[in-house]
Amino acid sequence: MSDAFITETEIAGAPDGPLAGRTVAVKDNISTAGVATTCGSATLADYVPPYDATVVERLKAAGATIVGKTNMDEFGMGTTTETSHFGPTDNPAAPGHVPGGSSGGSAAAVAAGEADLALGSDTGGSVRCPAAFCGVVGIKPTYGLVSRYGLVAYANSLEQIGPFARSVEEAAELLEVIAGPDERDATTRAPPDAGTSTDDRRGAERSTDGRGAAGASTDGRGDVGTSTADLRYADAADGDVDGLTVGVPTELVDGADEGVVETFRDAIGELEDRGATVEEVTLPSVEHAVEAYYVIAMSEASSNLARFDGVRYGTSGGYDGNWNESFARARKAGFGDEVKRRILLGTFALSAGYQEKYYGKAQDARAWVKADFDSVLSEVDVIASPTMPVPPFELGEGLEDPLKLYLADANTVPVNLADLPAISVPAGETDGLPVGLQLVGPAFGERRLIRAASVLA
Ligand code: GLN
């Protein structure tokens, strides 16, 4: 079995539909009825969900064939896919190196041609990082565009399910299938004024409704689930960037690996050759994004993972008259080191007397990051940076140094804090290792990102 998968299977979809004849790999934290969903964890090694995630229902209805459940960092916690209970995944684009994480198996399956398309989840970069490391395309949708129903939660205020593909257009086709409101996830909503305000450039938005993307119509909800016109993405992949303004934040380029920056600059040059203009911008708050992200993500994780007690979910710890000891045994045996570290830190950050000092402060930083992005995106159409400040690590390289891995998330986590959409598209290589370029746009600005990124892949 390929090391990209934890479970290989064949779940056939409807006989026809937009994805008929296409194979899709699904990250193993997305529920598939009757097929194991392990989250890369020993505690869920035997867990078989009784229902499908909304995105899985939509894949089936669109005619896709699901070919397997992919390897991942345990519960999505990691940047290399090495915290998986089921062992590491090699990088098909750079053998001997990690595929990135946490959705490393999904990116590897697509890079190796073992699936046409894949789904991952992105809490702080887990779609974009593996896309960058494996030389494929990955999209992190605007928070609320894609249903999280049936996604096993890690840090629910930050995460979205997103597509992988070998081209921007194919990733957009998959996004088209999974996007749109879901009555079973109250955080989903319809793109405001879809088709006009999310399209093209800021100028176009202003001329159509005078309010820009921020003037979200609150009435558009009901009809969008049925109106496919509002959720078209694939037809935006036309490479037309004439007149587009691209902001490059100094904070997300300074300090990145030299070869990565060089490859990034060359790719930006291709956008300029097609008529885009590039300017330097600044996002001062992102200096605090990694700290804020890890406090929020660990706090939410400590709460979300409370259900794995061996009674409600997870392998039983056995019962000998003391439930506390039973829960402790289940969690000691069921979780790996990284998951334990995060539950401990998250529980501490939320404990009485410390909550304002850590969680409260992190929420303030999150608001500042949001405000910074809004202000820059009122000046430029998209924001560009290297997706990852470093090329893929060698297998085993980062395991002993969690902080080094946390810092590698510097360019991706600010986007989750700000709830914005982003895409990672292959920019080229440095020393034979793939480099990704990240584009960030305004809320529900996926069409604009797809259009710009389609210049490159
Ligand atoms: N590397 C980040 C983390 O470990 C991102 C993970 C993710 O997006 N699921 O939290």
Catalytic residue among 102, 106, 424, 454: 102
Supply φ then ψ for residue 382, to 5 degrees: -140, 160
Nearest CA to ligand 1 atom 10: 77
Nearest of 106, 178, 77, 145 to residue 420 by alpha carbon: 145
| pLDDT for 199 | 53
CA dihedral 256, 250, 240, 230 (to 10 degrees): 100
CB 37, CB 30: distance < 8 Å: yes
Q: Would strands 382-386 and 245-249 be described as parallel, antiparallel, or unpaired?
A: parallel
How distant, in Å, are the alpha carbons of 86, 337, 346, 348, 351 from that of 406?
22, 15, 15, 19, 23
Q: What single-letter amino acid sits at 124?
A: G
102 catalytic, yes or no? Answer: yes
Determine, yes or no, domain membership for 268. Answer: no
Looking at the CA of residue 293, tell me the nearest atom of ligand 1: 10
Separation of first and last alpha carbons in the chain: 29
Number of structural domains (the chain) is 1
How far apart are the C-alpha atoms of 327 and 120, rounded to whole Å?
A: 30
Sequence-distant contacts of 220-223: CB under 8 A, at least 24 apart: 220/190, 220/191, 220/192, 220/193, 220/194, 221/181, 221/189, 221/190, 223/190
76 φψ region: left (φ > 0), alpha (ψ -120 to 50), beta (else): left
Determine, yes or no, domain membership for 395. Answer: yes
How distant, in Å, are the alpha carbons of 67, 101, 146, 263, 295 from that of 106?
11, 9, 18, 24, 27
- Whether 71 is in the pocket of ligand 1, judged by its Cβ within 6 Å, is no
Q: For Cα atoms 96, 333, 406, give the angle at the middle one, nearest 5 degrees.
A: 45
Q: pTM score > 0.85 for this model?
A: yes
Determine, yes or no, domain membership for 27. Answer: yes
Residue 390 belongs to domain with CATH number: 3.90.1300.10
DSSP output for 244-261: -EEEEEGGGTTTS-HHHH
Determine, yes or no, domain membership for 183. Answer: yes
* C-alpha 387 – ligand 1 centre gap (Å): 14
| pLDDT for 214 | 37
Determine, yes or no, domain membership for 291. Answer: no
Using one digit for the tens of pLDDT, what is the confidence trace for 260-294? 999 999 999 999 999 999 999 999 999 999 999 99
Looking at the CA of residue 127, tell me the nearest atom of ligand 1: 8
- Whether 77 is in the pocket of ligand 1, judged by its Cβ within 6 Å, is yes
126 catalytic, yes or no? Answer: yes
- Whether 124 is in the pocket of ligand 1, judged by its Cβ within 6 Å, is yes
| pLDDT for 95 | 98
- Whether 122 is in the pocket of ligand 1, judged by its Cβ within 6 Å, is yes
Q: Which of 129, 143, 417 to mutate to test the pocket of ligand 1 (most atoms within 8 A of CB)?
A: 129
Determine, yes or no, domain membership for 213. Answer: yes
* C-alpha 220 – ligand 1 centre gap (Å): 32
* C-alpha 45 – ligand 1 centre gap (Å): 21
* C-alpha 137 – ligand 1 centre gap (Å): 18
Per the listing, tokens 């405001």 go with 192
Q: Which of 73, 121, 403 to mutate to test the pocket of ligand 1 (most atoms within 8 A of CB)?
A: 73
Using one digit for the tens of pLDDT, what is the confidence trace for 14-25? 999 999 999 999
| pLDDT for 400 | 81
- Whether 79 is in the pocket of ligand 1, judged by its Cβ within 6 Å, is yes
Determine, yes or no, domain membership for 88. Answer: yes
* C-alpha 5 – ligand 1 centre gap (Å): 19
Determine, yes or no, domain membership for 35. Answer: yes
* C-alpha 261 – ligand 1 centre gap (Å): 23
Q: What is the DSSP letter of 311?
A: S
Q: Which of 29, 41, 77, 406 to mutate to test the pocket of ligand 1 (most atoms within 8 A of CB)?
A: 77
| pLDDT for 202 | 60
How far apart are the C-alpha atoms of 312 and 73, rounded to whole Å?
A: 22
Domain carrying residue 106: 5-242+386-453
pLDDT beneath 50, residues of the chain: 195-198, 203-228
